[in-house]
Amino acid sequence: MSIAATFSSPAPASDFSGEPLLEVQNLRVSFGKLQVVDGISFTLRQGEVLGIVGESGSGKSVSALALLRLLPPNAQVTADRLMLGGEDLLSAKESRYESLRGSQIAMIFQEPMTALNPVLSVGHQIVETIRRHNKVGRREARDRAVAALRRVGIPAAEQRFNEYPHQMSGGMRQRVMIAMALACGPRVLIADEPTTALDVTIQAQILELLQDLQDEYQMGTIMITHDLGVVSSFADRVLVMYAGQVVEDAPAAELFARPGHPYTEGLLASIPSSLQDVERLYAIPGSVPPPFDLPSGCRFEPRCTYSRPPCRAARPWLMPFQPHHEAACIRNHGYHFPASEEVAP
């Protein structure tokens, strides 16, 4: 059992008090001998936006793809618990997963071209998605698809319906992908770097659209990004990933005001802000260790300014730091590991 379940009080951190939509406990992914996601756990509720931040290779995308069972066959995925609205996903058959994807849980990607078929018109693709999951006729599916395109802010939706992905700008393609993802009213939306490839003003448009849709449909949303600014403006709760692990789990405002892990603290100090001047940036020394060369103790220890010998002794798991706020760092506990049953994954 994770320390999250042991320690955090039953009330969730935010006011999202409904039934959990998605419950993930101790999700692990490896490719052969390489463990790239090492025991992540979280609960997502209706209307909640969970941000997952971390640098390149920290395991954000692999975690998301594992939830959707979209990883290649050479990936080994295990979890203690994986529930979607009360349904056990671990025992779900592939056919069941196929119908869940799109209708219950949908994903949007950084590069829409990877998700869109280049030889089919965008309207056709949305119609297909709608008809795959609903017993509706062509006409009705078409009407719904046009409405979806309109809802995501595509001007002249009737005409654009017949366009191919390559005829559209990056921002418009991203809108199409959002329309496709939401066409069947999924309860969970996973957005993996949905605005990273876009220009600043277009990024703001897409984030504004996602905020509107979030307010209207109250999905449970997972927003994956390396941009702490995006997370801060968008998320209710944040997981910070480092080298395949969650090192901090906190309400968004808390995370920025009182980071509980030295890595989070370092990240915050290393980003130049457009709102204020700093004389010199803090630069976390060194670089992220590759998955085949991970330290046996705390994975951040070799780069950590607060490191002490006990940090190398064992790997810290998430421990309580503030109410509803956990960090995988023993410094918050006087450089002592809490009793063993509390730190076991």
Ligand X SMILES: Nc1ncnc2c1ncn2[C@@H]1O[C@H](COP(=O)(O)OP(=O)(O)OP(=O)(O)O)[C@@H](O)[C@H]1O
Which residue(s) pair with 20 in the sheet?
A: 45
Of 55, 80, 128, 140, the residue at the interface with another protein (CB under 8 A) is: 55
- Between CA 156 and CA 175 the distance in angstroms is 13
Q: Is 170 in the site for ligand X (CB under 6 A)?
A: no
- C-alpha 184 chain-centroid distance: 20
- Between CA 339 and CA 345 the distance in angstroms is 13
- Between CA 213 and CA 233 the distance in angstroms is 15
- Between CA 334 and CA 263 the distance in angstroms is 18
Residue placing its CB nearer to Mg ion in the complex, 41 or 61: 61
> Which window, 1-9, 59-67, 81-89, 174-182, contacts Mg ion (CB under 5 A)?
59-67
Residue placing its CB nearer to another protein in the complex, 27 or 240: 240
Question: Which amino acid belongs to residue 167?
Answer: Q
Nearest to 125 by CA among 96, 168, 164: 164
Structure-block tokens of residue 181: 């993802």
Of 36, 157, 181, 184, the residue at the interface with ligand X (CB under 6 A) is: 36
Residue placing its CB nearer to Mg ion in the complex, 61 or 103: 61
Question: Least separation, in Å, of the C-beta of 249 and another protein?
Answer: 17
> Which window, 58-66, 83-91, 178-186, 208-216, contacts ligand X (CB under 6 A)?
58-66
Q: Is 199 in the site for another protein (CB under 8 A)?
A: yes
Q: Is 337 in the site for another protein (CB under 8 A)?
A: no
Q: Is 61 in the site for Mg ion (CB under 5 A)?
A: yes
Length of the chain equals 345
Q: Is the dihedral of CA 111, 114, 118, 122 positive or negative?
A: negative
Question: Least separation, in Å, of the C-beta of 243 and ligand X?
Answer: 9
For residue 23, what are the CA distances in angstroms to 1, 20, 85, 90, 117? 13, 7, 8, 11, 32
Question: Least separation, in Å, of the C-beta of 9 and ligand X?
Answer: 30
Tell me which residues touch ligand X (CB under 6 A): 31, 36, 54, 56-62, 72, 226, 291
Tell me which residues touch another protein (CB under 8 A): 55-56, 169, 171-172, 199-205, 207-208, 211, 226-236, 252-253, 256, 266-268, 270-278, 280-285, 287-288
